Structure 1
Amino acid sequence: MLHTLPDPSAPSTGATRSADRSLVSLAGRWYFPIAFVARLPFAMMVVGVLTLVVAARDSVALGGVNSASVGIGAAVFGPLVGAAADRFGQRRVLVPVGLVNAALLGLFPLVVTGPAPDLAVLATAFCIGASAPQVAPMSRTRLVAIIRQRMAPARREQVTSGTMAYESAADETVFIIGPFLVGILASAIAPWVAVAGASLLTFVFVTAFALHPTGRLAVGTREDRPSAPARELLRPRLVVVVVGILGVGLFFGSTLTSLTAFMETHGEPAQAGLLYGLMGIGSAGLALGSAAFPRGFALGWRWLVFGVVLLGGAVAFSQAGSVLAVGVVLAVMGIGIGPTLVAQYSLGSDRAPIGRSATTMTILGSAVIVGQSVAAAVTGDVAEHHGAAVAMLLPALAAAVVVLAAVVDLLLSRRAAA
């Protein structure tokens, strides 16, 4: 295990050269492609389960409940996985968790399409969420550890900001690409292929991510200080970030499920993921561009401004009546999502208690998927009983949660500064 890394402030030539290297060089050129693909199955799980159950059991409501079961499993066990990684190291946790998750994803199509009762399907979906590998938060933890331990102090703030922008853009991109892939595979081949594909990706890339040399840096996130008590995770300024990112998850779930119901009225429910992918165009670009925002445009204000853009797009989405109009509105909504996620994850990283970085990032990642799953269940039920038009109102409510949390965050920050 790698316990002590070179101190960038040390006068040795080797340490100085290490402190001047880029993050890509320090992490390794294969790290970022592996980490990107390894988080794709997490983004495909909820949508893949929803699509497969709707296709196999002919019920949007049942599909929504199963996707909610995935989210509940992730919410209950995700933070425990992060806490275990903080204590035992990422390799020891990710390898077994990833293998179990890959096996469950491979088993799920057989359970859904077979004679198993709905309760067995729900239980399997819950176990899929419970065993979900927390690649995104663990990637953030690794990169922050590299920045803090191997880079010169003068570079850390700027590189951390750019890293959080990249990581949020990567998350946003996979949460768009995931449903997009599910839509393509479900339309072109069969709905079960998307879940089987997620199983294969988990087996190969999550294992590769776990075994990457940077996995040894997990111990370094604790630095030389004892971990903060768990109650520090309940500080209001951190809780409000969790609520805000939960709102983003609610937005994802309500948008995709209401879009699925909308496309079902047009006879093409499996293509909802393809249309949903339009949201990633502006989202990923602006998320990556967040690193170029001036320092005076503080994270809290970015969250509020782009949250308002998201809310405006969600209101327009509720009024769209054609496939073309929905596609245009989805592209506009993407402008608000990327920078909002960047701001939220950056604030979460800044406010993480000492020694609980992976736990904090896992809680934030779990908040996205539990919000997505719960919203999918509620929206699916609304769509089935009240129609797609009513279900399309729910993304605006989710966006309102994002905006209200941003306002509370600014008030708390002002009080803390005072």
Structure 2
Amino acid sequence: MASTVTDSRRPGYGQLLRTPGAWTFLLPGFFARQPFAMLTIGIVLLVQHTTDSYGTAGAVAAVTGVSMAVFAPQSGKLADRFGQRAVLLPGVLVHTASVSALTALALADAPLWALFVAAVPTGASVPQVGPMVRARWAAKLEGSPLMSTAAAFESVTDEFTFVVGPVLATALCTGIHPAAGLIAEATLTLIGGLLFAAQRRTQPAVREPSADGAGPRVSALSIPGVRVLVVAFLGIGSVFGGMQVSLTAFTEEIGNPGANGLLYGIFAAGNMLAGIACGAIAWKRGPRRPLVLGYVGLTLAASFLWAVDSVALLAVLGLLVGLCIAPALISGYTLVESLVPSTARTEAFTWLTGAVALGQAAAVTAAGQLADAHGASAGFTVPLVGTALALVTLLALRSRLAPKAGSTEAVGRIAARGASGKDHRARVTVD
């Protein structure tokens, strides 16, 4: 579909993918980020099998998520300072060993405290490939209108992994062995992570702020807008975590555990489809409004999940929930470009990814406890509460998401877009 527009035409996916050198990091990055979508569901399925408790499985997965949320920003900060390769190489090795240890302990019916001990390095060492890919785009597209298209493309890629990853992990765990999902996750992390780390030419240059007049290096979290986005992304994590556990519990209750992967795949497919649309459409307004509207729709859609008792209706609602996630994710990641200096961007992206992991961890724990005590329908209240709290925060603090007028990087980007005739105003085209 195309429409008549002004001369400032929205650059589309085709133009983005013709960026020189893009494919050299996109392909290995795609395989390296698959494990992120497999880890939580793989832990839940294995530990639930060995302990017969969703609460215990959720608690172990939650420790992994909290550990990732705590250590991911530190990984991003180190990558900004020393380079992505220097962080990835030891990270993938530690993660592979930690997942192997956690799997062996679970199969050996080890005590819960031992599973918790293994879960800490498992989460702490999760390779932050998604934020690193985004940082590579930001370095290549500095000041370009293609940056928002890249944010949409990355959201689509993330959600495609959430279509493939949970379905693959569930199929392996239910069709081959309960540990097969985590074994595949560790294998993909090792191979994909090493291949991505080998792409040195496209990794962002390590720059000291004083070299370009940007002032002393600051933490991305010191920026008020980033803190607001972190809280907002906790809500998205609550959806991922709550849906994973509650869908698993629901399909077990109805005696059709194989439907779990299908239902979660439909939920993630909705997110992916919305991401494709968001990247193709050139909106007239900036990213703050889609961020808020995405959360309004997400809260409304999540408010009906607890009352559904059929696979068909749950599939439809799951699709609607997924459709509302992408605008929020894309808008949040797009805002980082205007809020955060280039020397702290990988750290900022990892704060958001860590917030999703932390929200997911809390949701997995809460939904697991509720599902054990009151059934799957109670678990579905977790996404509603998480998104509602995030929406209230956004509405109250949305003014902090505007870049400071004196920001030299923001001014430079605005000037570059204006000079190229590609300002975001009055654009309604689909590429």
TMscore range, shorter length: 0.7 to 0.9
The residue type paired with residue 187 of structure 2 is L
- Report deviation, 1:236: 2.2
Residues of 2 paired with 1:146 and 1:29: CA distance?
13
Residue 121, structure 1, aligned to residue 115, structure 2: yes
Answer yes or no: is the 8 Å Cα contact 2:98–2:122 preserved in 1.
yes
CA deviation string 1:137-177 (max 9, x = no partner)? 111111111122xxxxxxx4321111111112212222333
Equivalent residues in 2 for 1:168-207 (5 A)? Answer: 168-207=155-194
Deviations 1:212-238 (A, max 9, x none): 134543415967245654355233222
Distance 1:218 1:177, change over 3 A: farther
| TM-score for both structures, normalised by structure 2 | 0.85
2:317 to 310, 329, 332: 329
2:338 match: 350
**1:115–1:144 CA distance, 2 compared to 1 (3 A):** same
Q: Is the 8 A contact 1:251 1:372 kept in 2?
A: yes
| Alignment correspondent of 1:308 | 296
**2:106 aligned with 1:112:** yes
Q: Identify the range of structure 1 (22-31 vs 374-383) with the bigger mean alpha-carbon deviation.
A: 22-31
Aligned residues: 390
Within the candidate set 299, 304, 317, 2:305 is matched to 317
Task: Name the counterpart of 2:252.
Answer: 264
* Aligned-pair CA distance for 1:326: 0.7
1:43-192 counterparts in 2 under 5 A? 43-148=37-142, 156-192=143-179
Q: Secondary structure at the match of 2:126?
A: coil
Counterpart of 2:391 in structure 1 is: 403
3-state SS, counterpart of residue 26 of structure 1:
coil
Correspondence for 2:416: none
Q: Is the 8 A contact 2:223 2:340 kept in 1?
A: no
- Residues 358-377 of structure 1: pairs in structure 2 closer than 5 A: 358-377=346-365
Pick the aligned partner of 1:383 from 362, 371, 379: 371
Q: Percent identity?
A: 31
Q: Distance in 1 between matches of 2:208 and 2:31?
A: 24
Structure 2 residue runs of 5 or longer lacking an equivalent are 1-14, 406-431
Contact 1:282 1:335 in 2 (8 A): yes
Matched, 1:339 2:333: no
More helix by share: 1
2:33 aligned to 32, 39, 64, which one?
Answer: 39
SS at 2:79's partner residue? helix
Secondary structure of 1:124's aligned partner:
helix
- C-alpha distance in 2 between matches for 1:253 and 1:213: 34
Q: Is residue 224 of structure 1 aligned with residue 218 of structure 2?
A: no
Task: State the superposition RMSD in angstroms.
Answer: 2.2
How does the TM-score come out when normalised to structure 1? 0.87
Shifted more, 297-306 versus 244-253: the winner is 297-306
- The superposition leaves residues 28-53 of structure 1 with CA deviations (integer Å, 9 ceiling, x where unpaired) of 43421211111111121111111110
1:170-221 alpha-carbon deviations (Å, 9 max, x no partner): 1222233321211121222122101000111011111100111345434159
1:100 & 1:26 partners in 2: Cα distance? 33
Equivalent residue number for residue 234 of structure 1: 222
Unaligned segments of structure 1, at least 5 residues: 1-20, 149-155
